[in-house]
Amino acid sequence: MGAAVGEVLVGRKVGNKGALWGAVCGTIPDLDFVFGAFLNDVDKNIFHRSVSHSLLFFVLAAPVTGWLIHKIHNTLAVGWKEWSWMAFWAYFTHALLDCFTTWGTQIFWPITTKIAFKSVFVIDPIYTIPLIVCLVLALRLHRNHRKRKLWAWLGIGISSVYLIFTLIAKYSAEQYFYQLIKSKKISYLHMETKPTPFNAVLWAATIETKEGYYMGYHSFFDAGDAPLQYFPKNEHLLSVFTDEKTKQKLMGLTEGWYTVEQNGEVLYLNDLRFGTLSGWEEGGAFVFSYEIKEEEGKWVVKERKKRLKQPPSQILGNLWSRVCGNY
């Protein structure tokens, strides 16, 4: 998206350099992982998509970025204000897109509330491919060609329409799960839905009850009701975890969607927002899970290593089969 923004705003004046710098600016917010490398696993995940994805950062960083680009290309017919404006919109559209994902974005940081529409997986080829194709077609033309900006806008338009479609698809999936809950007479507290990897056809739901969570998957091609898996909360297991500060950080990170398991003296806190690595199949580790154990009188919390039960090619094959309505 950053490259398309650069092309639309300054491409006619600077040619392909606009798309190049737009792409660079569109990548900068995700460099927060560099700073996250110096933090523990919990703080690293809390820091991700916080300050570097905020409006405050965009407002402060855009003029600096624009000034630097202008210094590099001071012979071009674009001043630092135009470069700054381009940088701001490249930053902003990056964060706006991230707001549609499950992880969400603290776009109003330092307010810690995340904006998360949860309608797009972090990688979705249906969103990305039209944008790339249209941008490539635009960049092949002379910078003054009348169709060049049209192609860039077309890519942005198609991808934006797809984002709207995902919101409609999410609403439809939610209505299905509401009816499923009603038919099974499940007394629930909250429910959240999210798309599965690389598509907006197969949706996952996490349904909170007083004692635990039901998790289920629904494809728009399903011919019948898919089963629900149940996971007990086991909150009582956390009573031995006496590091209240870290405990509260974990609660905030998971936004309250978690279960607890115990294996010997080790506790595992599972973040339910991203489901399990095996998806709709029985069993399997959660995508994000935190190991909690006491070592030499101190509590140590670290992210649990992800272990795939199947090779990636088989997982993708199973995903495609499930998207097509086979369970």
- What is the structure's pLDDT at 278? 67
- What is the structure's pLDDT at 279? 66
> What b-and-e string marks burial along 6-26, b requiring 16 or more CB atoms within 10 Å of the CB?
bbbbbbbebbebbbbbbbbbb
From the DSSP assignment, how many helices (H) and strands (E) are in the chain? 10, 8
pLDDT tens string 280-310: 666 567 889 999 999 888 999 999 887 777 7
CB atoms within 10 A of CB 129: 13
List of residues 6+ apart from 220 with CB closer than 8 A: 169, 172, 173, 201, 325
Q: How sure is the predictor about 234, in pLDDT bands with cuts at 50, 70 and 90? A: very high
List of residues 6+ apart from 169 with CB closer than 8 A: 119, 195, 200, 201, 203, 220
pLDDT tens string 248-284: 999 999 999 999 999 998 999 999 998 887 666 665 6
Mean pLDDT of 183-201: 95
pLDDT tens string 113-155: 999 999 999 989 999 999 999 999 999 999 889 899 999 999 9
Q: How far apart, in whole angstroms, are the C-alpha atoms of residue 107 and residue 109? A: 6
Domain boundaries, the chain: 2-166, 186-327
Q: How far apart, in whole angstroms, are the C-alpha atoms of residue 216 and residue 177? A: 9
- What is the structure's pLDDT at 305? 84
DSSP category for residue 310 = S
Q: How sure is the predictor about 325, in pLDDT bands with cuts at 50, 70 and 90? A: confident
pTM: 0.90
Q: How sure is the predictor about 80, in pLDDT bands with cuts at 50, 70 and 90? A: very high
- What is the structure's pLDDT at 313? 84
Distance of CA 139 to the CA centre of its chain: 29
Q: How far apart, in whole angstroms, are the C-alpha atoms of residue 286 and residue 304? A: 9
DSSP category for residue 196 = P
pLDDT tens string 154-174: 999 999 999 999 999 999 999
